[in-house]
Homo-oligomer: A and B are copies of this chain.
Amino acid sequence: MSNQSMNGFIGITSKQPASVPLASSGTKSASRPCPHNPGISCSNCRLSDLCLPISLNKSEIVQLDEIIERNRPLRKGEHIYRQRDEFRCVFAVRSGSFKSYVLGADGQSRVTGFFMPGEIIGMDGIGSRIHGVSTMALEHSSICEIPFAQLERLSHQLPNLQSRFFAIMSNEIVKDQQIHTLLSSYTAEQRLASFLLSLSARYARCQLSAERFILHMTRSDIGEYLGLTLETVSRVFSSLQKKELVLVKNREIEIKEMAKLKAILGE
């Protein structure tokens, strides 16, 4: 709704699934013109050691590069895809951040995940060929689009890529299991502590500060993700601040006592 009216032109949404022409999958060499991001490729991407290319050699990365489409950036609120859309691609976050969510029978949304640079989005659709969630940019963001049929074909040629993708999916399963235990046994405070520590570690992974960062999601998003109400999220932030473990100024977070924050999870 407002998502589409806020743009002059519409992004990669369900309304025009085939609107973005794929690269011809021919066998020309490394440098391929990319309309929105000339000169950007996996080979020179500073995320390449946390993203898909890990454990690939130079020539393999070049081949991977061939099938990746780098589209124009997405604005805050734009969707990569929506629940029930046909699955065609997985996506790597190049910059910015995203949330995935489902709409329940009653119409209210539940957030299933947040995604940061170097992370892969959309793997839930591989088995069913349908996206089970919607995924939306939380800020101005850019992604690499990877047509899955081509990724499968290439994985078949490159054992390293096959292994890498198995590993990425496995890590996603582990992450989901950790959230399972979080949701089934942690208190509100433990959930928030765990959430902040997770964000911190992921920011650190992409060379950003582990102590100071911006929450690009709302309190409500966080609550939907952690199984809490937005009021509880707000209250716990206030309480953590009163204890001087963190400093919360709107969306800005500063972790003052990393060790004590971890100690909350300790027992």
Q: Which A residues fall within an 8 A CB radius of B?
A: 102, 104-106, 110, 112-113, 123-128, 132-133, 152-153, 155-156, 159, 162-163, 165-174, 176-177, 179-181, 183-185, 224-227, 265-267
Residue contact A105 to B184, C-beta cutoff 8 Å: no
Taking the closest CB of chain B, its distance from the CB of A153, in whole angstroms, is 8
* A165 contacts across to B, CB distance below 8 A: 166
Residue contact B132 to A184, C-beta cutoff 8 Å: no
**Across the two chains, which residue of chain B brings its CB closest to A165?**
B166
* A104 contacts across to B, CB distance below 8 A: 181, 185
Residue contact B184 to A224, C-beta cutoff 8 Å: yes
Taking the closest CB of chain B, its distance from the CB of A55, in whole angstroms, is 11
Main secondary structure of the interface of A (DSSP, over half): helix
**Across the two chains, which residue of chain B brings its CB closest to A130?**
B174
Query: Do A169 and B166 form a contact, CB below 8 Å, given A112-B181, A177-B176?
Result: yes
User: Complex formed: what's the CA distance from A230 to B266 in Å?
Assistant: 24
* A127 contacts across to B, CB distance below 8 A: 166-171, 174
27 A–B contacts, CB within 8 A, in A order: A102-B177, A102-B181, A105-B265, A106-B267, A110-B180, A110-B181, A112-B180, A113-B177, A123-B170, A123-B173, A124-B177, A126-B166, A126-B167, A127-B167, A127-B170, A162-B162, A165-B166, A166-B169, A169-B169, A173-B176, A176-B179, A176-B180, A179-B180, A180-B183, A183-B227, A184-B225, A184-B227
- Picked from B106, B159, B177, B267, the residue with its CB within 8 Å of the CB of A112 is B177
Residue contact A162 to B156, C-beta cutoff 8 Å: yes
Between A126, A132, A155, the greatest number of chain B beta carbons within 10 A of the residue's beta carbon is seen for: A126
Taking the closest CB of chain B, its distance from the CB of A260, in whole angstroms, is 16
User: Complex formed: what's the CA distance from A105 to B180 in Å?
Assistant: 16
Taking the closest CB of chain B, its distance from the CB of A232, in whole angstroms, is 12
Taking the closest CB of chain B, its distance from the CB of A179, in whole angstroms, is 6
* A227 contacts across to B, CB distance below 8 A: 183-185
User: Complex formed: what's the CA distance from A128 to B175 in Å?
Assistant: 12
**Across the two chains, which residue of chain B brings its CB closest to A155?**
B162
User: Complex formed: what's the CA distance from A74 to B101 in Å?
Assistant: 40
